[in-house]
Amino acid sequence: MSRGVCPELSASLAACRRAAVDAPFAAHVESCPDCGPAVALERALPRFAAFEGAGPFPSAEAIRIESVLVLERRRLARAAAVQVGLQALALVVCVALLGAAWVLEFRAGAPARIAGAACSGAIVAVAMSIWSLVRAVDEAALVS
């Protein structure tokens, strides 16, 4: 059967951080199998950081927030890459439509020019697709 953690552990660590050492605190820390090593580690970490020439260790909350931000950046980068891929695919489809419209107008006996109605619509679609691709690439660059 496993035993629980000392209910005074948080209070002991907080008192150690505040340097509020009194007789009951010292007696509890010396006798408790949970608080003794935790307080010793809490006291040793700043000395180790000073010995290594590093600054103070960040809090657990700061580390958690940084990890959440890293995960969010990765998610946004994946979403931006998918958006750029979709816009590139749309551009390819629009260029293929322009080619098909030009071929159909040429086969219909009209002179081979890009000014027909179908070709004009396809040109507009290509232009809008290029604009969307440029915007998607620009937004993806902001995420990175």
Residues 72 and 137 in one domain: yes
User: Does 2 map to a domain?
Assistant: no
Contact predicate 32/6, CB 8 Å: yes
Domain membership of residue 24 (yes or no) is: yes
Q: For 88-106, what is the mean pLDDT? A: 87
Query: How many domains is the chain built from?
Result: 2
Q: Is residue 3 part of a domain?
A: no
Structure confidence at residue 99 (pLDDT): 87
Does 134 share its domain with 65?
Answer: yes
**What pLDDT digit, counting tens, does each position of 127-137 carry?**
999 999 999 99
pLDDT value of residue 126: 92
Question: pTM higher than 0.85, yes or no?
Answer: no
Residue 93, domain member (yes or no): yes
pLDDT at 1: 38
Whether 97 and 125 have beta carbons less than 8 Å apart is answered as: yes
The domain containing residue 46 runs over which residues?
9-52
Examine the domain organization and report whether 48 and 113 are in the same domain.
Answer: no
Q: 89 vs 123, 134, 137, 144, CA distance in Å?
A: 16, 13, 13, 22
**pLDDT, tens digit, for every residue of 11-43?**
877 787 777 777 777 888 888 887 888 788 777
The answer on 95 and 36 residing in a single domain is no
Q: What digits encode the pLDDT tens for the residues 49-86?
A: 666 566 666 766 777 889 899 999 999 999 999 999 99
